[in-house]
Amino acid sequence: MANETSGTADGDPVPLVRMTREGGVATVVLDSVHNRNALSRRLLVQLAAELDAAEADPGVRVIVLTGAGPTFCAGADLREQQDGLGQGSVSMPDILNRIFEHRCPVVARVNGTTRAGGVGLMAACDLVVVPDTATFAFSEVRIGVVPAVIAVPVLLRMNATVAHEYFLTGEVFDAAVAERSGLVNRAVPEFELDDAVTGYVDALTRGGPLALAAAKQLRRTVPGVEPRRAFPRLQELSEHHFASEEGQAGISAFRARRPAPWMSGR
C-alpha cells in the first residue's frame, strides 16, 4: 500500500502538492486544480518540501512528477505576479535545481495541457512522457514577459531552432512537435500513458542508485566542454564507479547471472 505524506510545509491544512510512495517510487502530484496547478508561492514551497523528503528517504529510487486534473501546469500564478510582493521563500530556480541535482531520476508524467513555466518544470525532469493530445506553449511573450529562467532546462532538451521559434511566437504546439524537437521523450496515446511511465520506472530501478545519480548529471556537464578537458574528468568518473562497492557488486552479480543487490526490494 502507498504511504502518503501528511500536512504541508507552510502549515496550511489543504495541500497543493501530494506525495505517495509505493516501493521505491515516490509519486509527487501537483494538486492545485482551481488554478490549473499554477506555480504559486505555496505550491513551490510544498513542492520543494516533497522533493527534499524524497531526497532524504533512502528507500526512494525514482520520482514520478504529475498533475491533478486536465492540466499538468499552467505556469506562473499571474495573480501573485501582480501583487507586488515578489517571489516567495522558494523560487523557480530553486525548484529546477532541486530536480537537476536530485539523486533520484525524475520522470514527468505529463497529464495534459502545459504552458510557460510548466514546460520548464517538465523539461527539468530526466524523462518526459506525454499524451499525444497534450499541447504546449511558451506563452510569456503574449503577456509581455520572457521565458527566461525556463530557457535553461528547455534548451538542454529542445532543438534550439525550434525552441527559438516558439519562444518568439508564443504559438501553441502539439505533442508531435514536442517529441520531434527533443522536448519530450515519448508522446503516446492517453490510454498508454501509465504503461509508458511504468516502463521507464522499471528500467530506472534496475540501475545502481549511485550510478544513476552520476549518470543523470552527464547531460548538463558534458555538452559544451572541450573534449581534451572532458575526457580526463569522465575517465576519472568511470574509474571511480568501476572501483566502487556498488560497481563491484553489480559486476559480480552480472557475472554470476543473479540480480544486482539494489534490486532485492523489487
pLDDT above 80 for 229 = yes
What is the CATH number assigned to the segment(s) 209-263? Answer: 1.10.12.10
State pTM to two decimals. Answer: 0.91
Mean pLDDT over all residues of the chain? 92
The candidate with the shortest Cα–Cα distance to 30, out of 81, 69, 88, 79, is 69
pLDDT score of 173: 98
Tens-digit pLDDT profile for residues 144-197 = 999 999 999 999 999 999 999 999 999 999 999 999 999 999 999 999 999 999
Q: Beta strand pairing status for 25-30 and 62-67? A: parallel
pLDDT classification of 54: cutoffs 50, 70, 90: very high
**226 catalytically annotated:** no
Tens-digit pLDDT profile for residues 97-130 = 999 999 999 999 999 999 999 999 999 999 999 9
Kindly name the residue from 4, 50, 55, 140 that is annotated as catalytic.
Answer: 140
- Domain 3-204 CATH superfamily: 2-enoyl-CoA Hydratase; Chain A, domain 1 (3.90.226.10)
Write phi, then psi, for 254 (nearest 5 degrees): -60, -45
What does each C-alpha distance from 60 to 3, 79, 84 come to in angstroms?
Answer: 12, 35, 38
Where, residue-wise, is CATH 3.90.226.10 in the chain? 3-204
Q: What percent of the chain has pLDDT over 90?
A: 80
pLDDT classification of 82: cutoffs 50, 70, 90: confident
Where, residue-wise, is CATH 1.10.12.10 in the chain? 209-263
Which has the higher per-residue pLDDT, 181 or 87? Answer: 181
